[in-house]
Chains A and B, each alone.
Chain A
């Protein structure tokens, strides 16, 4: 009871703009403290107002510097900015060095900005498992724009596209050739492509390669159907192409060059999402994906709680001894049919 009311107090304090409470609630959410769920439930009805922008790309392309420059430009327009910067957790120690603030010193002392570093804590999709909830807390706290910087991403860390309204993929000269550019994955999720460090040799090559890739064909829309009204009309088996033309923007983030162009592209993309109704589609997909993920986790927790504590370890041992194959093991665990506790040798 007292825990519940303390979480209510924390949620109320966050809504009233208390930055300490905001920081503390984010910690609770990150730690998956059971009572943080209560606060998230209270905050949920206050979410949905922020523009969520993802910034991703390979390590060293300048994501943090770009976030710094972009946040400054947004502040000049009078918009408040929440920043979530994710860095990898060491798989060996569970610790992390979170260094994105080093590039964000220009934002210090501005109460219209809130920066939070997050460790990925074992998640592989470029974000932490709780990043979505942390974004939601910042949304409820009233930040107009939330910039989410992923870990230095390779080719498959595409989770950000599901969370953000607009995904900015940052590239830099000298990182890849034309074959890299047509591979599926990180470039495919870009709503806006940025070639940062555009004053470096080879930048024009990178720009040309990316433009050429974009000309190979229109991008597929991020799954799903064409808004609620179209659902009854057609269950689409065909791919849906996006009418949005992905711009390639050159920046030198450390010198704040090209940032106005990037901001204009962000504005155009937000307008595009609203005009085409895609924003509703994306929201729906995000809610569906999140619901399924949470359900999966909850079902797993429930199943494991119902089985004897040693069931999992014993099954693992039996698979290791080649007595059981993984698929049969899953069926056995689901049906609670683990004949003979020690696997009968």
Chain B
């Protein structure tokens, strides 16, 4: 009787103190039956990668509203890779200019969700991208 759940880490890297969006997403993913590890504000890329490893998550969701995404995201991805977590899905939400999206995707971000994204879309995306019963 296996009882698998999608596990998602929601983190706010950098210094902006606005975590309402992150909390809304955490709540929506919870309501979709996922286990959400919420780590709170001001996480360094190292802290995010360490938490992702210890919690063995399928998905890391980064909420960034400070405009520092082009600096923060590559460092998070680098730390995840250094920890051997290449297979973890990385999602970015927040205020991200459209022009930056291709560059973020090239770095390894699977999807970028801007303001106004329906939480249902995020849930659907995660469900389709995460395959449970992996080895």
Q: Is B33 a contact partner of A95 (Cβ separation < 8 A)? A: yes
Size bracket, chain B contacts: 20 to 34
Give the contacting residue for A98; candidates B4, B32, B36; CB below 8 A.
B36
Once bound together, how far apart are the Cα atoms of A267 and B16, in whole Å?
Answer: 41
Once bound together, how far apart are the Cα atoms of A30 and B5, in whole Å?
Answer: 10
Once bound together, how far apart are the Cα atoms of A105 and B41, in whole Å?
Answer: 10
The smallest C-beta distance from B82 to any residue of chain A, in angstroms, reads 12
Q: Is A105 a contact partner of B47 (Cβ separation < 8 A)? A: yes
Q: Does A121 count as interface, using CB distance less than 8 angstroms?
A: yes
Known: A114-B54, A119-B5. A93 touches B47 (CB 8 A): no
Is the contact region of chain A dominated by helix, strand, or loop, or is it mixed?
A: mixed
Q: Does A174 count as interface, using CB distance less than 8 angstroms?
A: no
Using CB atoms, name the residue of chain A closest to B51: A101
Q: Is B46 a contact partner of A93 (Cβ separation < 8 A)? A: no
Once bound together, how far apart are the Cα atoms of A301 and B1, in whole Å?
Answer: 10
Measured between beta carbons, the chain B residues less than 8 angstroms from A108 are 44, 46-47, 50-51
Measured between beta carbons, the chain B residues less than 8 angstroms from A34 are 2
The smallest C-beta distance from B100 to any residue of chain A, in angstroms, reads 28
Q: Is B37 a contact partner of A31 (Cβ separation < 8 A)? A: no
A-B contact pairs, 6 of them (CB 8 A): A27-B7, A34-B2, A93-B30, A93-B32, A115-B51, A117-B37
Q: Does B56 count as interface, using CB distance less than 8 angstroms?
A: yes
Once bound together, how far apart are the Cα atoms of A19 and B53, in whole Å?
Answer: 8
The smallest C-beta distance from A98 to any residue of chain B, in angstroms, reads 5
Using CB atoms, name the residue of chain A closest to B47: A108
Q: How many residues of A contact B (CB 8 A)?
A: 34
The smallest C-beta distance from B61 to any residue of chain A, in angstroms, reads 13
Q: Is A101 a contact partner of B37 (Cβ separation < 8 A)? A: yes
Task: Known A-B contacts: A23-B53, A117-B55. Give 8 more (CB < 8 A).
Answer: A23-B56, A24-B56, A95-B32, A95-B34, A97-B27, A97-B36, A101-B40, A102-B40
Q: Is B30 a contact partner of A27 (Cβ separation < 8 A)? A: no
Measured between beta carbons, the chain A residues less than 8 angstroms from B46 are 108-109
Measured between beta carbons, the chain B residues less than 8 angstroms from A20 are 53, 83-84
Q: Is B1 a contact partner of A98 (Cβ separation < 8 A)? A: no
Measured between beta carbons, the chain A residues less than 8 angstroms from B43 are 105
Using CB atoms, name the residue of chain B closest to A130: B3
Known: A105-B40, A108-B46. A94 touches B54 (CB 8 A): no
Measured between beta carbons, the chain B residues less than 8 angstroms from A31 are 2-5
Once bound together, how far apart are the Cα atoms of A115 and B83, in whole Å?
Answer: 16
Q: Does A243 count as interface, using CB distance less than 8 angstroms?
A: no
